[in-house]
Amino acid sequence: MSADLTGKDTGPDGFEDFHDFDGGPGWANRTLGGFCAAALAAITFVLLLQVAMRYVAQSPLVWVDEVTRILMVWLTFTGAALAYRTGSHIGINAVVDSAFVRSRPWVARAAALVIEAVVLAGSLALLIGGTIMLIRTAGHTTPALQLPIAVLFLPAPLSGALVLCSAAANWTARLRPSNAVISS
């Protein structure tokens, strides 16, 4: 953890952490984390139920694969947004923490800007592509539960929008001249 010249907390990459006005962890991060934990618990429960029904009752449930797939998609996209917001995305950290980047401050700053540009582009692609998939699949339903297929595609544009907003905030924070980072 480090602080910039204004005394704000920054993450390992030098970007501002997302906090509420009271200085605590952001409500969005807590909500995303809670959702990820609940989705993982639900996946575990449903799969254990399927094992019990298949091997104990000899009567497998037909909807388990569909529910597990939907929950996994939601967990993946929600977890990606949370990982980006908390600065714990392994791919981004691998670049920022490399020895070459750390040894040259100007390279670290340039790498951070390039990463943010790539994240902005990827988030925009998720938002646009996910929205197109939602429009194209409107009216379709899942096979077992007959849910709107949107439950499978909705996490992509939502995650894209959340990461896009977070990346834009990081981008503007990074470009502010008063945001020089001091390592602690």
In this prediction, residue 19 carries a pLDDT of: 46
Q: Provide long-range contacts, Cβ within 8 A and 24+ apart, for 140-149.
A: 142/66, 142/70, 143/66, 144/62, 144/63, 144/65, 144/66, 145/63, 145/66, 145/67, 147/70
pLDDT digits (tens, 9 = 90+) for 14-52: 444 554 433 445 888 999 999 999 999 999 999 999 999
The pair of structure tokens assigned to 102 is 């750390």
In this prediction, residue 3 carries a pLDDT of: 42
Put residue 8 in one of left, alpha, beta given phi > 0 → left and psi -120 to 50 → alpha.
beta
Residue 97 in this model has a pLDDT that exceeds 90: no
Question: Using 50, 70 and 90 to split pLDDT, how confident is the model at 182?
Answer: very low
In this prediction, residue 119 carries a pLDDT of: 85
Highest mean pLDDT among 2-11, 126-135, 161-170: 126-135
Residue 7 in this model has a pLDDT that exceeds 70: no
Residue 142 in this model has a pLDDT that exceeds 70: yes
Please tell me the distance from the alpha carbon of residue 11 to that of residue 24, in angstroms, as a whole number: 14
In this prediction, residue 174 carries a pLDDT of: 67
Residue 114 in this model has a pLDDT that exceeds 60: yes
Residue 12 in this model has a pLDDT that exceeds 60: no
Residue 132 in this model has a pLDDT that exceeds 80: yes
Nearest residue to 181 (alpha-carbon basis) of 26, 12, 19, 23 = 12
Rg (CA), the chain: 20
Residue with tokens 């917001």: 85
Please tell me the distance from the alpha carbon of residue 77 to that of residue 86, in angstroms, as a whole number: 14
Give 100-149 as a DSSP string. HHHH-HHHHHHHHHHHHHHHHHHHHHHHHHHHHHHHHTTT-B-TTT--BT
Question: Using 50, 70 and 90 to split pLDDT, how confident is the model at 90?
Answer: confident
pTM of the model: 0.77
Residue 95 in this model has a pLDDT that exceeds 70: yes
In this prediction, residue 102 carries a pLDDT of: 72
